[in-house]
Each structure stands twice: as structure tokens, then as C-alpha cells.
Amino acid sequence: MHPISQLQGALVGALKDDAALVALVGPDGVFDAAPNGRPAPYVVIARHDMIQRDGDAAPGQEHRLLLHCWGDQPSRKRALDMAERVVAVAMDFAAAGITVTHRQHVRTETVIDKDTGLARAAVGLRFMSELPFSP
């Protein structure tokens, strides 16, 4: 399985299992691809880029993810509450088949969307990972 699929699948699963985030977005409010026609609130992985960073002992990867937290209000509060939970989960989730060696919350940006009038928080995350070594 590709490292993007492994890391992203584990993160999405952990976000869906987080009771505090589910209380904000509902039981079906976390997506790994943009939902069509789904009203806010929800969290979606908007982008996931990976650069290969192999070490001496194992293949390594640098992952940069951008998650959008769409609130259902014109206030940034709900979107920022969602972003706070996303960061908390991202700093502590487990991923099977891949070892996460570094986790970093890079930034959070907010905007009131001009088309919908709703608030969105964009959360930037950076991870370093390694796959098990296969000689």
C-alpha cells in the first residue's frame, strides 16, 4: 500500500473515532475527498503531498497535508474548534504498517467564504514516516 494511503487512512480513521470532533461535525462529517453536496460542518483532506526522504535503514517520506474544517456558521469559532480537534488527533494517532517519526502542526488559517458566508479553517500538517525495511 502506498504511504499516502496508509497515513491518510489512519488519520481519517482516527478523526472519525474522536468523540469531540464527531460532536462538532456529526458521525459522517470526516472525508478524505471533498464531498459533493454535503452541507457543513465537515472536515476534509483537501491536499496530501509526499516527498521521498529515504534514510540508511528504511524508506522514509515527508508528508504535507492540508485539511479544511468547514463550519456551519459565519463565525470562525466552530471552524477553529474543529481545527483544534484535528490538530490534537493528528499529534497522537497510530498508523498500521507505517511508522510516524515526526508530527508538526505547521499553521492554521481562517477565512469567511465569500460564496457561502461560512467560516473555514485550513490546517497544515507535516509528518515524517518510515516503512518497514525489506532487503
Please report whether residue 62 resides in a domain.
Answer: yes
Tell me the β-bridge partners of 107: 124
What local confidence, expressed as pLDDT, does residue 54 receive? Answer: 79
List the one residue out of 33, 9, 7, 12 whose CA is nearest residue 22: 12
Q: Are 69 and 83 in contact (CB under 8 A)?
A: yes
Q: pLDDT tens digits, residue range 82-122? A: 999 999 999 999 988 889 999 999 999 999 999 999 999 99
What local confidence, expressed as pLDDT, does residue 135 receive? Answer: 54
Q: pLDDT tens digits, residue range 34-75? A: 889 899 999 999 999 999 987 666 779 999 999 999 999 999
Please report whether residue 88 resides in a domain.
Answer: no
CA–CA dist 110, 131 (Å, integer): 34
Q: pLDDT tens digits, residue range 14-31? A: 999 999 999 999 999 999
Pairing of strands 42-52, 99-112: unpaired
What local confidence, expressed as pLDDT, does residue 133 receive? Answer: 58
30: CATH: 3.30.2000.30
Domain enclosing residue 103, as ranges: 3-75+99-130
Q: What is the DSSP letter of 84?
A: H
- Ranges of H-type helices in the chain: 3-17, 19-25, 76-90
Q: State how many domains the chain has.
A: 1
What local confidence, expressed as pLDDT, does residue 134 receive? Answer: 57
